[in-house]
């Protein structure tokens, strides 16, 4: 039998479900890998070995008593340090806040715990989840397993690094502007951003712009489907939701059925403010993905899309609005990272009317963009505009330059959050330096199953 970290998550789930592997055995295996590999990788900010082993023993005891087991019985994972896990400190990646230890799980960890998953700790994030890299003033930066000099992206960068390095089989992430898809692309994973309202505990109906959703990071489409099936099983207290899947997302990935009309685009809504120049490797990945999709029977066609030129300013205003209401103790602002400090000052200077105007622009953008996308079953873009960036690349030019560099690095992701659509990043190309590059597929409303099926057709 292969080692647990050599199995897919679906294979590991099957071994645990059949009792051929025990939860404590699997948990101990991954904890040993974290102990050995994490010091160089920085993926985990707070490993929790004692809590994890106790949970694993309790899972084995439930099996011994013949109790009904959850769909993720004994499966290790980890949570971003932006969410509360009972008994574990939360930092939000910020030195400007005092860490706290929650008495109860946040909504998403609670759903996954009920499914039988075992948390091995908290993973590294940028401050407040604000950035497309995972560096902060709280702990060492998360590093890319493909090249430790490079970033794994963000804000789910620590989680992506952990999955890519085999420290956990898969991980839940959150995505408010690309924070699942960006690190997936940078580390060679499948990263799925679900439709707004799909995951009850991460539905994009809490934040001002309705951007942030929870979604899976995994090595295969089937693994992502398995985790998504568990994520959507939580209680739903929202009036608006994506329609339920008919027979599950894992099943859709395993069937890998369907051929689709796919519109190809390299247009970014940031082009009205920035000169978007795609690295040759990004275009090579797009070509490789296009060839693979065509070989799989899909109809790829050129697009003639148009985006509202007001998008960049409106997105920035709404994306950073929460910084104006962040409660900091006197003097704590000096402990903010450069981008958080800069964006907080800009957010504090905006009026309510400014925010209302920005939200109106984005809602119009959503309507117009979905209408244009409706001529196709899916839209294909590069996942990223550049190859994975070096540690420190974003932060060496100040807060405003930091944000510009993020937009240049990931010019195609945030618009999907604004529109509430599902999208997936799939690795399709390796550069001469051995770095992964991916494509992004944007689906119709509620079409996560189709996206997973296509990713599986491409061999993931």
**Domain CATH number, residue 390:** 3.90.1300.10
Between CA 107 and CA 80 the distance in angstroms is: 13
Name the domain count of the chain. 1
Q: In angstroms, rounded to a whole number, what is the distance separating the alpha carbons of residues 80 and 215? A: 12
Helix ranges, 296-424 (H)? 311-319, 338-348, 352-373, 399-409, 414-419
What is the DSSP secondary structure assignment for residue 145, as one 8-state letter?
Answer: T
pLDDT given for residue 237 in this prediction: 81
Annotated catalytic sites, by residue?
A: 80, 155, 179
Q: Is pLDDT of 234 > 90?
A: no
Range of the domain at 211: 4-457
- Which two tokens mark 248? 């599950």
Checking if the pLDDT of 166 tops 80, the result is yes
Task: Give the span between the Cα atoms of 140 and 53, in whole angstroms.
Answer: 25
Higher pLDDT, 84 or 202: 84
207 CB-contact burial (10 Å; exposed 0-12 / middle 13-18 / buried 19+): middle
Could you read off the pLDDT of 302-320 as tens digits, one per residue?
Answer: 999 999 999 999 999 999 9
pTM, rounded to two decimals:
0.98
- Dump pLDDT digits (tens) for 324-379: 999 999 999 999 999 999 999 999 999 999 999 999 999 999 999 999 999 999 99
What is the per-residue pLDDT across 114-157, written as a single tens digit (0 to 9) for each?
A: 999 999 999 999 999 999 999 999 999 999 999 999 999 999 99
Residue 235 burial (C-beta neighbours within 10 Å; 0-12, 13-18, 19+): exposed
Give the DSSP letter string of 288-301. HHHHHHHHTT-EEE
pLDDT, tens digit (0-9, with 9 covering 90-100), for 83-94: 999 999 999 999
């Amino acid at each position: 039998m292969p080692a647990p970290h050599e199995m897919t998550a679906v294979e590991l789930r099957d071994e645990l479900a059949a009792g051929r592997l025990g939860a404590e055995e699997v948990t101990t295996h991954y904890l040993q890998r974290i102990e050995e590999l994490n010091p160089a990788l920085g993926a985990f900010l707070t490993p929790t070995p004692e809590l994890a082993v106790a949970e694993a023993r309790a899972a084995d005891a439930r099996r011994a008593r013949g109790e009904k087991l959850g769909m993720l019985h004994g499966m290790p994972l980890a949570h971003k340090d932006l969410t509360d896990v009972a008994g574990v400190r939360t930092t939000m990646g910020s030195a400007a806040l005092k860490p706290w230890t929650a008495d109860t799980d946040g909504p998403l960890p609670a759903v996954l715990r009920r499914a039988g998953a075992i948390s091995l700790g908290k993973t590294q994030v940028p401050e407040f989840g604000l950035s497309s890299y995972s560096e902060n003033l709280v702990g060492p930066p998360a590093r890319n397993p493909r090249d430790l000099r490079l970033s794994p992206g963000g804000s789910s960068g620590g989680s992506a690094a952990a999955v890519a390095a085999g420290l956990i089989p898969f991980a839940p992430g959150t995505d408010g502007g690309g924070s699942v898809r960006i690190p997936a692309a940078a580390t060679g994973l499948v990263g799925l951003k679900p439709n707004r309202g799909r995951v009850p505990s991460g539905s994009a109906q809490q934040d001002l712009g309705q951007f942030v959703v929870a979604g899976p990071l995994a090595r295969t489409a089937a693994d992502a489907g398995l985790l998504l099936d568990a994520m959507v099983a939580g209680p739903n207290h929202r009036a608006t939701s994506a329609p339920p899947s008919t027979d599950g997302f894992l099943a859709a990935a395993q069937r890998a059925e369907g051929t689709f009309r796919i519109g190809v685009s390299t247009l970014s809504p940031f082009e009205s403010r920035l000169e978007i120049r795609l690295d040759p490797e990004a275009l090579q990945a797009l070509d490789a993905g296009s060839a693979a999709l065509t070989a799989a029977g899909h109809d790829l066609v050129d697009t003639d899309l148009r985006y509202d030129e007001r998008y960049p300013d409106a997105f920035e205003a709404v994306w950073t609005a929460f910084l104006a209401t962040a409660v900091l103790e006197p003097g704590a602002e000096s402990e903010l990272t450069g981008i958080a400090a800069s964006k907080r000052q800009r957010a504090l200077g905006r009026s309510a009317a400014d925010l209302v105007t920005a939200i109106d622009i984005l809602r119009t953008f959503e309507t117009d963009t979905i209408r244009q996308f409706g001529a196709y079953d899916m839209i294909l873009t590069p996942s990223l505009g550049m190859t994975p960036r070096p540690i420190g690349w974003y932060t060496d030019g100040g807060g405003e330059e930091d944000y510009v560099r993020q937009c240049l690095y990931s010019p195609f992701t945030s618009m999907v959050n604004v529109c509430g659509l599902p999208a997936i990043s799939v690795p399709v190309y390796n550069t001469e330096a051995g770095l992964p590059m991916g494509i992004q597929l944007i689906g119709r409303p509620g079409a996560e199953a189709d996206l997973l099926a296509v990713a599986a057709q491409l061999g993931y």
